[in-house]
Structure 1
Amino acid sequence: MSFKTWQRIVIKVGSALFAPNQNGCSSQYLLSIANFIVRCRLSGIQVVLVSSGSVGAGAHLFEESGEDNIVIKKAMAAAGQSEMMATWDRLFDFPTAQLLLTHGDLRNRDRYESIRNTIDTLLVNNILPIINENDAVTTDKLKVGDNDNLSAMVATAAKADSLIICSDIDGLFDANPHLNDQAKLLSDVYQINDDIYAMAGGATSSVGTGGMKTKIQAAEKAIAHGIDTFIVNGFKEQSFNSLLKDENPGTHFYPHKDPMHDGVHWMRHTTRAQGELIVSEDYEITANQLNDILDIDDLVSVKGNFSSGDTVLLRKHSGEKLAKVKTNYSSCLLNFIACSDNSSFSEELDKTDEPILSNQFIALMES
């Protein structure tokens, strides 16, 4: 995949680029990014922008630091969001649109499809979607937590060709380049494994919430969906000039040759298990099962609190994770079946047309 063949891309811009001093918005590093977006659009490439920066943009309006105060931080996000959008609007001579999302929006299939349709409609009408997590209202249970992973979820929802993640370094190095002068840049990554994650470390920006590890997580999500992914230095104008010349200025993560089915990818990489169903050790499951994928006799115990329609993790008592699936019954009802001697009730449940688990979007866990 190259610039000449791109049809739709997602570019993620972090807080360090948008509000480097947490003293309001700065166009210092945004001009080259905006120019890149303009040149892509002039070449017929549709662009979706995932932008952090609302907290940093609003921080200067508050006397109290929001570093250790989540309530203040949410207020900063609310105050800074409008300034963030106004800054982007000043850099473009075409219309933009704001989408504020939570993980709750993405993990609900109906809302996920609604997000996809909204992005499609905006792009068809030449409007630039600018997406951010809704930090002003989100809770721990509903938040993605970082815009690196959010950008990958958006890229899959938008059916993008490429995902470009801007960083404060040139890409993925085999050691921390801030601490090791001998660190070497990995230009091409064909498989994301434990060794790649070990290189990412746990460092985070002093301004943003995402470090290299979250960028690798995002790349893993995107390439599984067949999306070319780049980590580039967003502080360097040359990074974007290189991309426009079909040159790799950072680290290129190559997509899987056989991408996951869209629904299976959503189940594995976007939904979160709200609970667990523990099954017998001899229980097996395959992706091609079309009938009832869980018999009452196979259910050993239920963990967590979840509702009908939620995603749950299916695993054996030994700990082996089997799959993420959608449950047709609540944890309360399944606990009643699994933990009590309710043979007559179980017989009645067996007679219903609704199985315990849905066979839609079964995401088998990797061994």
Structure 2
Amino acid sequence: MDPFTRAMTSACNGVKNLKVNHSPVDFSAQLEKAPLSLSQPADGASYDIVEVYNTTLVEYASKGWLAPLDEWVAKNGEASGVNDIDPALLEKMKYDGHLYALPNQQNVHILMYRKDILDGLGIQAPTTYDELFAAADKIRAAEKSETPFVASFNADSDISTAFNNALTSQGGSWVNNEGRPTLASPEGAAAINDLRKLKSYMSSDALTLNNAKAVAALQNGQAAMGIIYAGRGATLIDPALSKFSNDFAFAPAPAAKAGGKPAAQWTQDGFAIAKNSKVGFDTLAGVLATSVGDSAMTNGAPFAVISRTSKLNDPTLQAKAPYWQAALDTLEAGADTLPLKPFMPTIQQSTRSFIVEAVNGAGDPMEALGKADAAANSALKSAGYLK
């Protein structure tokens, strides 16, 4: 159980006539079970509090499934610690001007690398893809690793994130101002070429790698550099989990091109109250607040980029999470979230197979990206987002 959930379940123990049923499930199961419960009448709902991310929050809030927290925070923000959360972070937990979740952590892609290998070859931490390609070539030539780079390129989901990172760093976007897909663009083609090049430095099973497998490649010495969500850094420096725990260093995510923003995606995790819950709102809000309380933040510090500003600035906690600074520097350099629009899951799901086709191919990326735009347009029309 993660420290944020543990804080909430512990808080429930002292509430009279409140029985806690905690049902931890993996991410895929969350995406299936949470909407099913949230969309039910109160008598059929399974969950009173649900974990949300910036993209799922937009989906759930746009459908009226979550209870707004604005009034409660206005009254209790100082005492609960919510006022200690960066306003920019809270803004990402809003939809249509209303706050729907309390963020306990944030995440962003950073560069994780074997400092001993790079230092030994006279390589500085890469700040652009071209520098990363050059570093990978040098590592491979020195026979330090045949597959010097790793990232989460899983064809079932994560390849969309990798494409987003390269696309936005190249200056492109998923949609235009009218909400119409614009992947078949010079920036989109450049992003595909970037991913093809990155993939050439990865193992042959690159399109099966999720975040856990990517981290494992660094832990066991298969790869020397990786662009991975910052929160995974804790497992690299744990001697019980990593053969090279003393040899890793962290740096901001490289940009796809010089002068571009980092090729990284900013995400936020938090908890929200189901609007169809039969439990009293104030009771649930009080439980929710413990996920951003002092204890949860302190216990979560080694494993996540926590949300409370005062805790992020605590030198004792900083020492436990040496990857924090790289994450904060990546955000300072301009890394951002996906467009927080209800239609984004539809676009990503409808285009993913064509992105995989493009990354796996060797021809003009515009052909596959044109198919992606056509599929996204059709899906958006079917879902009522486009006419």
Same fold (TM over 0.5): no
Report which of the two has the higher share of helix: 2
Give the TM-score taking structure 2 as reference length.
0.30
Give the TM-score taking structure 1 as reference length.
0.31
Instruction: With a CA cutoff of 8 Å and minimum separation of 6, indicate the structure with the bigger relative contact order.
Output: 2
Rg bigger for which structure?
A: 1
Report which of the two has the higher share of strand: 1
